[in-house]
Amino acid sequence: MNLKDLFNKYDIDQWGICPFNNIKNNLIKCRAITKLPENSKSIIVCLFPYLLPEYTERNLSRYACVKDYHIIALNILSDICNALINNFPENKFVCFTDNSPIPEVKAAAYANLGVIGRHGLLINKQYGSWVFIGEIVTDLYIPAEQINLQYCINCGQCQEYCPGNAIGNHFDKSCCVSFITQKKGELNNIETKKIINSGLIWGCDKCQEICPMNKNIKIKPYPLFLNNPQFLYYPDINYNDDISDRAFNWRGKNILKRNFDIINK
């Protein structure tokens, strides 16, 4: 079976193989770890670009403007897994995205899909950092190039412009505005000010917007993100939008309302 044809069929043009051995000592200890095939040998990593061609007024981070990538990517990857199982019935194929025991950015970099940015995201040559990562782990051995991890040009601009001061020698999640917008409960004054300054009620794109490695990239969102309604602005909790297919649904409307009220006080 030709993997290139299979991925072409699903409009995925950025994919690669990370040998499982490369990340076996960096697995994330989460519940999903039990789903990994025994004797995993290869990780097929693929990217779903999501940068939309243009944006009007919005108060959501770009990744939240499109349909929940967990739904889209997992559906596609499940179909691909089924095709692989038909061709390799002796082998196991398990797909993940985000909620994954695989350190996805590292695996994508080992799969030759980009470099690791100082902000911790993958930066792909074609689509920059505006990509979601999904992967299929298998006990099938698939030959792969041996790649050394590559890093960004380290210009420091993401650190300089980060409104949360979250980027230093290490990424401090608790300071990141994106993390704060998702935090439950009462926020302190510093956190509240960070949300006001960001102007967004969910997420933060500043480190990606400022990154010079995100200039001159291809804007070609994964087709299913275009085929589904975009959702740029979340106006009010009383507004009766169905958010069940949105990436912020897991946190619920109350958090969005809290952030909306903070910004519009």
Separation of alpha carbons 58 and 80, rounded Å:
34
* Cβ proximity to ligand SF4, 210 vs 237, nearer residue: 210
* Cβ proximity to ligand SF4, 209 vs 236, nearer residue: 209
Half-sphere exposure of 184 (CA within 13 A, CB side): 3
* Cβ proximity to ligand SF4, 92 vs 206, nearer residue: 206
> Does 163 participate in binding ligand SF4 (rule CB under 6 A)?
yes
Active site residue 98: yes
Q: Which of 199, 221, 211 is nearest to 151 (CA)?
A: 211
Q: Which of 158, 131, 153 is nearest to 217 (CA)?
A: 131
Which of 166, 201, 224, 256 is in the footprint of ligand SF4 by CB under 6 A?
166
The Cβ of residue 2 has, within 10 Å, a number of other Cβ atoms equal to 8
* Cβ proximity to ligand SF4, 80 vs 158, nearer residue: 158
> Does 207 participate in binding ligand SF4 (rule CB under 6 A)?
yes
Task: Please identify which of the residues 13, 79, 98, 172 carries the catalytic annotation.
Answer: 98
The 3-state secondary structure of 216-237, one letter per residue: CCCCCCCHHHHHCCCCCCCCCC
- Adjacent-strand bridge partners of 15: 46
Strand intervals (E) in the chain? 15-19, 42-49, 93-96, 115-116, 122-123, 131-138
Residue window 221-240: x/- pattern of binding to ligand SF4, with contact defined by CB under 6 A: --------------------
Residues in region 176-205 near ligand SF4 by CB under 6 A: 176-178, 204
Q: Find tokens 């704060």 and name the residue.
A: 180
Give the binding range for ligand SF4 (CB under 6 A) out of 19-27, 30-38, 47-55, 206-214. 206-214
* Active-site amino acid positions: 98
The binding site for ligand SF4 (CB under 6 A) comprises: 117-119, 152-158, 162-164, 166-167, 176-178, 204, 206-207, 210-213
